[in-house]
Structure 1
Amino acid sequence: MRLTAQERAILSGGAGTRGDQMAMEIVAEAGRMLGAEKLVEVHSSHIDGCLYHGDSGVLFCEKLAAEGAKVKVPSTTNVGALNLLKGDQVQLQPKQRKMAYRLMIAHDKMGCIPSWTCAPYQAGARPKLGQQVAWGESNAVAFTNSVLGARTNRYGDFLDIACAISARAPYYGLHKPENRVAELLLDVSSLPDALKRENVFYPVLGALIGRTAGETVCVVDGVPAGACDDQLKAMCAGAASTGAVGLIHVAGVTPEAPDAANALNHQAPKETINVTMNMVRAARDSLSLSQPGAIDCVALGSPHFSDAECRQFLTLANGSGFKVPVYICTGRHTMASLEQDGADKALCALGVEFVVDTCVVVTPILPAEPGVMMTNSAKFAHYATGNTGYAPVFGSLSDCVKSAQSGNVIRDQEIWG
């Protein structure tokens, strides 16, 4: 690779700390293995490696911190394995709890912004169009590429913090303009407009995109121009969890894609798929592994629920409490907003348990006896069984509210034709 004089100096130990040298060694070697011709300067990072998966990750990050490593760009933290505001909520063993805490503290010592959310773009971290960044967390990667028009690959644990410390990333993949051109066209124009206005359409669309596109860059044509952040968040999360999606061009929404022709660089797509209602219903059904009946809990907030989503949930509940536990996973920024007018207390009075700094699918919070979990999140539905043992049932937010109030699955089938 071609390295700058500054990069070579850090790599050789002639500049910066030993922690800086370690980070540059990792980024440069990753770039070499990936075939990058150079490194690119990045403007921000989102760190996924702060979630505890084992002691080796803790020791690695503590070594970086002990060797003087500090992030050189604004670097938000993804969810950890603990709710730092409610220590007894997570059912980890004492040693695991200690190690998970040490990992979160190590990132704090390296200068990361302690956001502890998988939706940093709703907590103020919104890279600008065309900016090169190094983000981890699959939904956040897809959102920053697809909605904000910044440029990042899907950076895995520990390469993300190395990029943040070095302010560099390998120049390959979605950092390069030529690799951002769509090859697959998904046309949803023939779907009913009423369905495309529904929030529940977007996680289902995401699941369809993920399973259809894999890691291929696609353009989706026919999505309403007024799609909001929460809808696009749900779409990106569904696509990134069911497939290896890093970029979805949404015609008329993605800054690089004012229309499908621009997303395709005015070339014919390699494949065009006209999405039908049968395909949409199949994608919806793939998110449920349990038949309608009794449920044991409702889990919401993957990615983390926004202030607007929490308030919509409160409105839908209309003062009626729940017969099963309802877990809402969200970030501190959302909790601070809800606390301003007591919306948090109103939700808790109905039976909501807030999960902050983490979520129920990445750390043990749910009761140990697996059961049926209802959710409006394609990401929760995709990971629920493997991570928690619970069988997912997918439905709209309104479905989730009604089901929590009755203790049984209630779903509105009318919107699906």
Structure 2
Amino acid sequence: MSLTLTAEERSIAAGDHGEGAAMTMRIIAESARLLGAPRLLPIASAHIDGALYHGDSGTLFAERLVEGGARVAVRSTLNVGALDLMGCSRVRLEKPARGMARRMMEAYRKLGCEQSWTCAPYQAGHRPAFGTDVAWGESNAVVFCNSVLGARTNRYGDFLDIACAISGRAPDYGLHRQENRRATLVFDVSALPAAFLASEIAWPVLGSLYGREVGNAVGVVTGIEKHPGEDALKAFGAAAASSGAVGLFHIAGVTPEAPSLATALGDQEPDTKIRVTRDMIANAHAALSTAVSSDRIDAVAIGSPHLSLAEFIELERLIAGRKLRVPIYACTGRHALAELDRDGSRKALEASGVVVVADTCVVVTPILPDRPGAVLMTNSGKFAHYAPGNTGYAVLYASLADCVQSAVVGKPVFTELT
């Protein structure tokens, strides 16, 4: 199938709107050709993952766009960067990488992107309308955007995301197309205890299992009796996108494209049915912990995806003014930080021993102390997946309540069982 560009798109690619815009249009057009897309789609917004420093090439690419006069054509928020520009926490990134990371963040500001610096833009007011085409990067943001908001995006990687934002276009393929959004398998959790499904600990575990079982297929979860809340769906999607390549999930009776099982399946029979058992959940739960023993912890980290204000309220309730023997690193965005500062919650949390991390998180930039053999406790399925490789810390997975109690007493505490 050949790609057809409009007269305007050909004009932009030819350089009539500046070299920066031309470069991005050529990137999008060539990507579309490789993907077999017949055309480009106009998009309503973008969320940019490529502003996180991984090397000098990313900084130089962004600066070249700036030099070419490029500006984003649609609303564009930014995923986490490599620095905490709010000054809440100490990032151990040294020169010259630190300077290049700052230059990169500044280049994206000059391109017209919003200084959101969060992996949860949907909780910071960036919520595209149902059915609209967008170009989002960052795996948890993508899966939330598709599944919970019902907007349409593929998993756009670094550089392609900003190219979409500047050109205002995306290739017409994948999850932008209705026929690719139909569920082809059923993930049935009806055999699991209602108490487990109602617990906070359930959703990262379910998501981790779902991602491993499903891969990049579109599935529909059945057996959920009521809406579990956005933070639970956030945790499920983040874990599923980390353990698999999930870009869209449905939950029958909960998510917008699945008012019923039949609707999610497009009135067709599923290719596969997965009936989740207690043993499957127990194994998925155990797999989230990589520490050889559970007799020590060196840090607790929460907020992947970034903590919402509601999660901070629960954190403060669980700490209840007690002093922590082990620090809790609480990662969040500026949107939540502003509320914490407004009501004084941040000061109270920090007085207890919480280290608030803004604009970034502990698994993408060096914040945690460099300690050989260290152990991290977390309630995040995404942290559990990435922390061993990115930080060198082994992981113990637990509920938020157990994470807090463990930080208070200075050693692992486990009270919730699957």
* TM-score (norm: length of structure 1): 0.98
In the alignment, structure 1 residue 403 sits paired with structure 2 residue 406: yes
The match for 1:354 among 348, 353, 356 is 356
Deviation at 1:87, TM superposition (A): 8.0
In the alignment, structure 1 residue 295 sits paired with structure 2 residue 297: yes
Deviation at 1:226, TM superposition (A): 2.1
Q: Is the 8 A contact 1:133 1:152 kept in 2?
A: yes
Deviation at 1:12, TM superposition (A): 1.7
Q: Report percent identity of matched pairs.
A: 57
In the alignment, structure 1 residue 164 sits paired with structure 2 residue 165: yes
Task: Provide the residue aligned with 1:376 in structure 2.
Answer: 379
Q: Secondary structure at the match of 1:304?
A: coil
Q: Is the 8 A contact 2:88 2:356 kept in 1?
A: no
Deviation at 1:148, TM superposition (A): 0.4
Deviation at 1:225, TM superposition (A): 2.4
In the alignment, structure 1 residue 334 sits paired with structure 2 residue 336: yes
In the alignment, structure 1 residue 247 sits paired with structure 2 residue 248: yes
Q: Secondary structure at the match of 2:306?
A: strand
* Partner AA of 1:293 in structure 2: D
Q: Is the 8 A contact 2:154 2:174 kept in 1?
A: yes
Deviations 1:125-161 (A, max 9, x none): 0011100000000000000000000000000001000
Q: Is the 8 A contact 1:217 1:248 kept in 2?
A: yes
Deviation at 1:18, TM superposition (A): 1.0
Could you tell me how far apart the structure 2 residues matched to 1:223 and 1:374 are?
Answer: 28
* Partner AA of 2:209 in structure 1: L
Could you tell me how far apart the structure 2 residues matched to 1:154 and 1:75 are?
Answer: 15
Q: Secondary structure at the match of 1:302?
A: coil
Could you tell me how far apart the structure 2 residues matched to 1:356 and 1:275 are?
Answer: 37
Task: Provide the residue aligned with 2:149 in structure 1.
Answer: 148
Could you tell me how far apart the structure 1 residues matched to 2:14 and 2:334 are?
Answer: 40
> Structure 2 matches for 1:307-318, cutoff 5 A?
307-318=309-320
* TM-score (norm: length of structure 2): 0.98
* Partner AA of 2:92 in structure 1: Q
Q: Is the 8 A contact 2:88 2:357 kept in 1?
A: no
Deviation at 1:224, TM superposition (A): 3.3
Q: Is the 8 A contact 1:70 1:165 kept in 2?
A: yes
Deviation at 1:197, TM superposition (A): 1.1
Q: Which runs of 5+ in 2 are unaligned?
A: none
* Partner AA of 1:322 in structure 2: L
Task: Provide the residue aligned with 2:183 in structure 1.
Answer: 182
Could you tell me how far apart the structure 2 residues matched to 1:19 and 1:141 are?
Answer: 26
Q: Which runs of 5+ in 1 are unaligned?
A: none
Deviation at 1:85, TM superposition (A): 1.6
Q: Secondary structure at the match of 1:26?
A: helix
* Partner AA of 1:65 in structure 2: V
Task: Provide the residue aligned with 1:68 in structure 2.
Answer: 69
Q: Secondary structure at the match of 2:343?
A: coil
Deviations 1:216-245 (A, max 9, x none): 111101123221111100001000011100
Deviation at 1:410, TM superposition (A): 0.7
Deviation at 1:167, TM superposition (A): 0.5
* Partner AA of 1:374 in structure 2: M
Deviation at 1:329, TM superposition (A): 0.3
Deviation at 1:8, TM superposition (A): 1.1
Deviation at 1:105, TM superposition (A): 0.4
Q: Secondary structure at the match of 2:41?
A: strand
Could you tell me how far apart the structure 1 residues matched to 2:126 and 2:282 are?
Answer: 34
Task: Provide the residue aligned with 2:58 in structure 1.
Answer: 57
Q: Secondary structure at the match of 1:189?
A: coil
Task: Provide the residue aligned with 1:107 in structure 2.
Answer: 108
Task: Provide the residue aligned with 1:197 in structure 2.
Answer: 198
User: How many residue pairs get matched?
Assistant: 414
Could you tell me how far apart the structure 2 residues matched to 1:124 and 1:90 are?
Answer: 27
